[in-house]
Amino acid sequence: MNFYKELELILEAENPHAKINLFYTFYAAYKSRHVEFEENYKVKEFVLPSYNSTCQVVSPQNVPKRSNLTTKEGQITLLHAIAHIEYSAIDLALDGAYRFAGLPKQYYTDWLEVAEDEIRHFLSLEKLLHELGAKYGDLVVHNALFEASQRTQTLLERMAVVPRYLEANGLDATPMILEKLEKLPKTQIIEKIIATLRIILDEETDHVKKGDVWFQRACVMENKKSDVYFDIINKYYPQGFLRAKNLNIDARKEAGFSCKELNFMAKKEVC
């Protein structure tokens, strides 16, 4: 089994469950060492995301805003938005393994582990959507995460932007969502959403940590200082750190952020 070819097929699979089944078959072969890395494999530049035939894509401004979370409609909107993030994150993790050759095997193991986690997160959220009479693809989505993968074509930029910026932002956002949910009247579905988001938050911290490890390695490989991180983020998200509020300091420190970085982002001393 060819590592890059198989990942390419998984990345291009348009049906979510077909993609997941292909991944599980591939991942079992990878773990049993029945996968070979072909040197000089020519990777593709993907023009459209794999969910393009499942979801209607609109600009981020036109994605439904979260409404009253005590209503079924509000819960579906929340779950669908997070499910789309997790589904996009599956491809982001797989693309990270597919796109950057010649790295230690631990790098590929790390991102396949992340992909497996993201699949589990997506399936958990999809199950909750089904309980509410909805499914992934019922609501419009945006391409922000896919576009981030298109724009970051070096290991250094990918590790800075995807795990250390976009996914790290989730470490800040999820506790705020949980806080809102925990104030609502307790129902079975609200309790299930809370439990699912707590698992996601815990495991996403590890994903950001993996990104930090390989960002630091990429800095060494390119003879860059780690503060190049802020230059990279400002390049792609010029307003990114102007909105750095409610930073999850503990989770970010656990994931590898230094106090110097956190103080800079918070615009004050936080650790």
The pTM (predicted TM-score) of the whole model is: 0.96
Written as six digits, the tokens of 196 are: 């699912």
Beta bridge partners of 175: none
Alpha-carbon span 27 to 113, nearest angstrom: 9
Average pLDDT over residues 202-206: 96
Helix (H, G, I), strand (E, B) or coil at 39: coil
In angstroms, the CA 139 to CA 164 distance is 28
Confidence of residue 13 (pLDDT cuts 50, 70, 90): very high
Q: How far is CA 176 from the centre of its chain?
A: 18
Who's near 156: CB < 8 A, 6+ residues apart?
Answer: 215, 218, 219, 221, 222, 224, 228, 232
Residue pair 88/114 in contact by the 8 Å Cβ criterion: no
* pLDDT computed for residue 234 by the predictor: 94
Region of poorest pLDDT, from 137-146, 199-208, 241-250: 241-250
Least confident of 83-92, 143-152, 231-240, 252-261: 231-240
Report whether pLDDT(149) > 80: yes
- Whether 242 has a pLDDT exceeding 90, the answer reads no
pLDDT of res. 246: 87
The angle, 0 to 180 degrees and rounded to 10, between the axes of the packed helices 3-12 and 72-99 is 150
Scan for tokens 């495991």, then name that residue. Answer: 203
Which CATH architecture best describes the domain 3-266? Up-down Bundle (1.20)
What is the model's pLDDT at position 243? 62
How many CA within 13 A on the CB side of residue 79?
33
CA atoms within 13 A on the CB side of 76: 16
In this model, does residue 164 exceed pLDDT 80? Answer: yes
pLDDT beyond 90 at 83: yes
Residue 239 has pLDDT above 90, yes or no: no
Q: What is the reported pLDDT for 66?
A: 79
More confident position, 38 or 96:
96
Confidence label for 236 from pLDDT (cuts 50, 70 and 90): very high
Q: Where are the chain's structural domains? A: 3-266
Q: Tens of pLDDT along 53-71?
A: 999 999 988 998 877 899 9
In a 3-state reduction of DSSP, which class is residue 152? coil
Which residue did the predictor score with more confidence, 133 or 238? 133
Contact 110, 158 (CB under 8 A): no
CA nearest 16: which of 47, 52, 43, 44?
A: 52
Q: Can you tell me the mean pLDDT for 132-149?
A: 97
Give the pLDDT of residue 244: 64
Q: What share of the chain in percent tops pLDDT 90? A: 91
Q: What mean pLDDT, rounded, does the chain reach?
A: 95
CB 132 within 8 A of CB 75: yes
Please report which helix (H) or strand (E) contains residue 162, including its range: none
